[in-house]
Amino acid sequence: MEQNHLGNAASERLLTYHCPADIYAVAWSPNGKYIASGGRGEIVEVWDVRTGDLCQTYRNHAAPIISISWSPDSRYIASAGLDDTLRVWNASDGSLLMSYWGHGGNIHDVNAFSWSRDGNYIASVFWKQTVNIIPVSPQSHIPAPKEVGVFRGHTDRVKAVAWSPDGQRLVSGGNDRTAQIWDKSGRLLHTYRQHQHEVHALSWSPDGKYVASGDEGEISHFSAGNSSSIHVWNSYTGETVVRYDGHDTGSYGIYSLSWSPDGKHIASSSDDAFDVVHIWHALSGQRLYAFSSEAGIVPALAWSPDGRYLAGAGNGAHNRKIEIWKL
């Protein structure tokens, strides 16, 4: 752990947790005490936010971990990765409680997943055109649960999914350039079609009224940057509220989106040449802060539950770390 005070009014790097391999996913526990991370090292690591100490290491994945999330009560951690599995762990002792293998047992990497508000279900997306709903009952020790719902509406691979804050709806996004709103029974409510490129980052506003969606974009031969963008839109009507084009991205586009707990701001990260993390006003698109990571690329972001801090997973050639910024 390092303490690094930047003396910058826009952001202050408070802590740095050094990791043995590239980090692709980071999540702050709802109780605010811990951060979980996963990445190329094929392990889940749990860090004490206050001290920076490594508390737990979970080992069972056979490939890099690309998505991670806490249960709403902070008792469990779910992780998913390129080994076609989604696993649920006991956060206190690291014991593996359940594993879910892809669609029909075939090899399809887990792109993303989201835990429902009541903690009873996980929505997952693989390299297919569907959203799978998985029952989560850690107490019952079901080793390999079967999906209880499969949502079909996308015409190409689904790459992102997020459950609404009230647990009544989901949003999914994918390579068909759409974001789709579903009710929890699987009924398609709305399809947002304003993106020009593949949608692979999503975040709900805390009140559930808006969705932020980020796309991959593409390299233009006529400009120095990438044409990727972030849209904020009304989740009920599909009306676009603001489009944010502040990132000067490279080949990948928008990595991560995270709406602040108070609903005022959105944090976004990309593979910009310089300032990879942006903080901007959610409904006006006004950029407030832009700063870089010591490590370089930041593929994942997570706000603290009180909204005072932002965690980012930083990856560089010789720098692999989780950074905590005070904003």
**pLDDT at site 100:** 84
Residue 3, exposed/middle/buried by CB under 10 A (0-12, 13-18, 19+)? exposed
Residue 183, pLDDT above cutoff 90:
yes
Cα–Cα distance for residue pair 87/98, rounded to 1 Å: 6
> How large is the average pLDDT for residues 300-313?
94
pLDDT digits (tens, 9 = 90+) for 206-249: 999 999 999 986 544 334 445 678 999 999 999 999 999 888 76
Work out how many domains the chain is built from and give that number: 1
- Domain annotation covers residue 1: no
AA letter at 205: S
- Domain annotation covers residue 271: yes
Cα–Cα distance for residue pair 41/229, rounded to 1 Å: 31
Cα–Cα distance for residue pair 309/33, rounded to 1 Å: 12
Q: What would the 3-class secondary structure string for 45-87 be?
A: EEEECCCCCEEEEEECCCCCEEEEEECCCCCEEEEEECCCEEE
**pLDDT at site 231:** 96
CATH number at 321 reads 2.130.10.10
- Domain annotation covers residue 4: no
**pLDDT at site 98:** 87
Q: Beginning with the edge strand found earlier in the chain, give each strand of the sheet holding 158-163 in spatial order.
A: 158-163, 169-174, 179-183, 188-192
- Domain annotation covers residue 2: no
Residue 271, pLDDT above cutoff 70:
yes
Residue range of the domain that includes 96: 12-326
| pLDDT greater at residue 29 or residue 80 | 29
- Domain annotation covers residue 6: no
How far is residue 95 CA from its own chain's centroid? 23
| The pTM of the whole model exceeds 0.85 | yes
pLDDT band at residue 79 using 50, 70 and 90 as cut-offs: very high
> How large is the average pLDDT for residues 79-99?
88
